[in-house]
Amino acid sequence: MKILKSELLIAKHLRQSVFKNSALYFISFFIGILLLYATFSGWQNYRTQNETSEKYQHESREDWLKNPDKNPHRMAHYGNFAFRKSTPLSVFEFGMEPFFGNAIFLEAHKQNTANFSEAGFSNSMLRFGEISIAMVLQVLLPLLIFFIGFNSIAYERENGTLKILLTQGINWKQLLFGKIFGIASVIMLLFIPTIIVLVLVWLFLQDFTITADETVKMILFILFHLAYLLFFCVIAVLISAVSKTSKKALITLIGIWLLFTIILPRTTQAIGAYIYEAPSKIQFNSDIEKDILKQGDSHNPNDPHYKAIKDSLLRAYKVDSVQKLPFNYSGFIMTEGEKISSRIYNEHLAELLQIYKKQNSFSKTVSFLNPYIAIKNLSMGLSNTDYESYVDFQKQAEDYRYKMAQKMNALQIKYISNTKSDKPKIIGKEHWADVEDFHYEPKPIGTVLKNEIISIISIILWISMLFILIRIASKKLKAI
């Protein structure tokens, strides 16, 4: 109890000395304004995107159902839309969402990518990034921590009070932890109000009706960011403790901040993309078309592959023309064509995603050298704004597209006659309701944690290492 009392006294003294600096009030006010702006812009973006997605998803559904009686295959080509809604935590962590599309046009025999990203409709300022609560917590608050803590011990070494302090019964371990608690108590004056506002906005956006999955994500979002900020408090005190002067400590800490938040993240992305080079969109689509043509063209009646299928069907049903088959031959061929084109597309997509996975794995591995990358990946994963969420949306939309096309093909097989007739070969529009509306489901917390296991291990290792460094430093550090 006596030891803890000493550490709290040290923390209180540091907090009092910090607030004597008028510059801290100006910086805190500036960061507070940024946090308010980030909350407002995040809330506005969330409401706008989700209202837009709901509106056009509803209009797309109405357009689909309002189609008149027609051939099912024409309906498959008429297509549908899949829209992706944001999750509540995306208000605080924009992640990659501004650069990924949130709508996909779904049609038979063709897989489209997501379009209508925010970046596509924005000016070049978006290249500099948007101000989000996560950005303030992950980038600006660590810089404020370094500004507060750079002279926490180095200054006392310079003016000679450090030696006096240590001769009065205070050991290095108590001093280090006391300084860490002092810096943390100052930062909590910004962090706690931010979290309160964050939770209130999060509850309001869901009309105070929350799921267990979203609640766990929110709790982890808060805890991981708290651990991240405490990590920088420890770094600030340790660097100050080993530095001869406050000036050297400040320069070192600014260098660490630049390395963690600016240099390493950008360098890592560039190196990953260079080592695991991905094909261009044009090349990707061209390779798919070539493989489909090699397999066969379902719209060409003389194609060798589909001619062989026709001949086998005629032999199996012992008829001499497709008009005499007991089902619609064209619908059967389109079903086969959809299976082939989807299989080829999924094979190429799997190869492409494997390349991107290697690029992302390289970045995640570097999180063992940089806690900022670890917290950024975790934050985006919990907010459903990471690359994995984008891929998950693409997969859900493709699954829906395939089922929609095959449903139309099944209706054609069942209801459209093979015989030639002057009347149009159509079915009633009531069948369009057989295709359910698209509904995007975000990744559950279990999937998020599985995807970000490297980042979680990285943060745990960083925290463990710092406690070890404190223990070593408490035995090795000198007053002079």
- Determine the 3-state secondary structure of 367 from DSSP: helix
Which residues are bridge partners to 83 per DSSP? 103
Least confident interval from 192-201, 238-247, 271-280, 460-469:
271-280
Q: What is the model's pLDDT at position 422?
A: 56
- 149: phi > 0 → left, psi -120 to 50 → alpha, else beta; which? alpha
- Determine the 3-state secondary structure of 57 from DSSP: helix
Interatomic CA distance for residues 282 and 117, integer angstroms:
19
pLDDT digits (tens, 9 = 90+) for 180-198: 999 999 999 889 988 898 8
pLDDT digits (tens, 9 = 90+) for 19-65: 887 788 888 888 888 888 888 888 888 888 888 888 888 888 888 88
Q: What is the model's pLDDT at position 120?
A: 39
DSSP class per residue in 230-245: HHHHHHHHHHHHH-SS
pLDDT for residue 268 is more than 70: yes
Q: According to the 3-state scheme, what is the secondary structure of 431-460?
A: HHHHCCCCCCCCCCHHHHHHHCHHHHHHHH
The residues, ordered by sequence, that sit 6+ positions from 370 with a Cβ below 8 Å of its Cβ are: 259, 260, 264, 265, 268
If one counts the domains in the chain, the total is 1
Residue 313 lies in domain:
2-476
The residue to which tokens 């907090």 are assigned: 15
Average pLDDT of the chain to the nearest whole number: 82
Q: What is the model's pLDDT at position 225?
A: 93
Largest CA distance in the chain: 106
